[in-house]
Structure 1
Amino acid sequence: MTGLREDIRAVLFDLDGTLIDSAPDLAGAGNDMRKARGLPPLPYETFRPMVGAGARGMLGIALQITPEDPDFIALREEFLSRYEARMSQETHVFEAMHPVLATLQAHGVPWGIVTNKAERFTLPLVRTLTLDERAAAIVGGDTTPHSKPHPEPLLEAARRMGIAADACVYVGDDLRDVQAGRAAGMATVAAAWGYLGQGDPIGAWGADHVIESPGELLNLLRLA
């Protein structure tokens, strides 16, 4: 496997589907809404691909609701409240990510988190998972005026780490992650273990590398 550029000095991760598996709690909130309406639960596998689309994606699966529906705003707030109440019940760091983070730390490579998840959810969740103690930067979807695929959240994370954007690699499981990383001048890695959505296949996103498991990142960084 050809590695990343040798001048890469820091790693930024998307959160949901890349660093952590939050799909069980997001799907659970969707099924909680169905239960409240007397509807049977849907299989977890139905929800998982749409996790990257947030509340919009979960409501689309749970209740076949789109943003154009007049009740969408109220239903979105209900979904977010239900999710907030349970967001750390089943969510966990991907098991294969633990040795990756440990290796980065052992080699003095700073890493951070850039997510479209609002700080209202991001900050308590990363504290619960003790990621805040190790991350050099945490940027949520509302930390800056823009969210991905705009590059500003990634650029803000690089500023907080004191590292040039072009010396960072961004790892994510959504097309918007690759678009944001490229726009920020970063190297990009697409995470095939993530949620991936229902759009173009991962190989068509234009990432510098596609990896099947977290450990492959260490090979790209020549740390394995």
Structure 2
Amino acid sequence: MALPDLSDFDAVVYDLDGTLVNLRVDWAAAAQDAALVLQDAGVEADSMDLWRMLDVADEAGVRDELERELSAHERQGAWTSDRLPLADHLTADGVPSGVCSLNAEDACRVALDVHDLTHHVDALVGRDTVATQKPAPEPLLETLGRMDVDPGAAVFIGDSARDKKTAERADIAFRYVDGGPSGV
């Protein structure tokens, strides 16, 4: 794996899943459990993906219940996650470092703890930390704000087109972890 050149930046924000670690989440089971939460609220969710279910859960007033269900799957996957090569860069980058993830904050904390990365992270923002989620710019900007870093001095490293779009919307430099997008 070729690591991205980060020498021009004073701070780095990393995506988590697919960038620093691979969470071992059974996403099909997570989607089934999320659909059950929506069905209990009278919403038919069979044709929705998880991200649409989260939006609909807001509308149906069951976001907290759906988040608890999804977060439980993510935490379980965090306990058995695999550390990826870029995690070694995080431990040695020598600059303020943050994590901005589409996963639940508590699952991110578990994965960081499991792989002994927590003390290398100055700020963490998960899907449930702020009111919006990637690709909205607010989670990334919040991460940098917690690090007290100017966005122009930072780079966001991720593995997906969604991560790239987040960086573009926040007007922050972006690098793919390993060559290119794995989805939006």
TM score, norm. by length of structure 1: 0.59
Sequence identity (%):
29
Q: Distance in 2 between matches of 1:57 and 1:183?
A: 32
| Structure 2: 5+ residue stretches without partners | 36-44
Structure 2 residue aligned with 1:45:
none
Letter in 2 for 1:66: S
Q: Distance in 1 between matches of 2:75 and 2:155?
A: 33
Give 1 or 2 for the bigger CA radius of gyration.
1
Correspondence 1:17 to 2:14: no
1:148 shift after superposition: 0.7
Quick one: structure 1 residues 192 and 66, their matched pair in 2 at CA, closer, same or farther if it must change by over 3 Å? Answer: farther
Q: Among residues 139, 145, 160, which one is paired with 2:146 in the alignment?
A: 160
C-alpha contact (below 8 Å) 2:79/2:110 kept by paired residues? no
1:175 shift after superposition: 1.1
Q: Among residues 108, 115, 119, which one is paired with 1:122 in the alignment?
A: 108
Q: Distance in 2 between matches of 1:179 and 1:13?
A: 14
Q: Distance in 1 between matches of 2:153 and 2:74?
A: 35
1:12 shift after superposition: 0.5
Q: Distance in 2 between matches of 1:77 and 1:146?
A: 14
Structure 2 residue aligned with 1:148:
134
Correspondence 1:83 to 2:84: no
Letter in 2 for 1:112: G
1:147 shift after superposition: 0.7
C-alpha contact (below 8 Å) 2:104/2:128 kept by paired residues? yes
Structure 1 residue aligned with 2:38:
none
Q: Distance in 1 between matches of 2:125 and 2:34?
A: 25
Correspondence 1:172 to 2:171: no
Letter in 2 for 1:102: T
Where 1:133 maps in the other structure, the secondary structure is helix
C-alpha contact (below 8 Å) 1:13/1:114 kept by paired residues? yes
1:172 shift after superposition: 0.6
Where 1:87 maps in the other structure, the secondary structure is helix
TM score, norm. by length of structure 2: 0.70
| Structure 1: 5+ residue stretches without partners | 34-54, 200-224
Structure 2 residue aligned with 1:101:
90
Q: Among residues 33, 43, 66, which one is paired with 2:47 in the alignment?
A: 66
Where 1:11 maps in the other structure, the secondary structure is strand
Where 2:13 maps in the other structure, the secondary structure is strand
Letter in 1 for 2:171: G
C-alpha contact (below 8 Å) 2:136/2:169 kept by paired residues? yes
1:113-160: per-residue Cα shift (whole Å, max 9, x none)? 000112242233323333221101111112111111111111111111
C-alpha contact (below 8 Å) 1:4/1:187 kept by paired residues? no
Quick one: structure 1 residues 82 and 160, their matched pair in 2 at CA, closer, same or farther if it must change by over 3 Å? Answer: closer
Where 1:102 maps in the other structure, the secondary structure is helix
Quick one: structure 1 residues 21 and 194, their matched pair in 2 at CA, closer, same or farther if it must change by over 3 Å? Answer: farther
Quick one: structure 1 residues 65 and 82, their matched pair in 2 at CA, closer, same or farther if it must change by over 3 Å? Answer: farther
Letter in 2 for 1:80: L
Q: CA RMSD in A?
A: 3.5
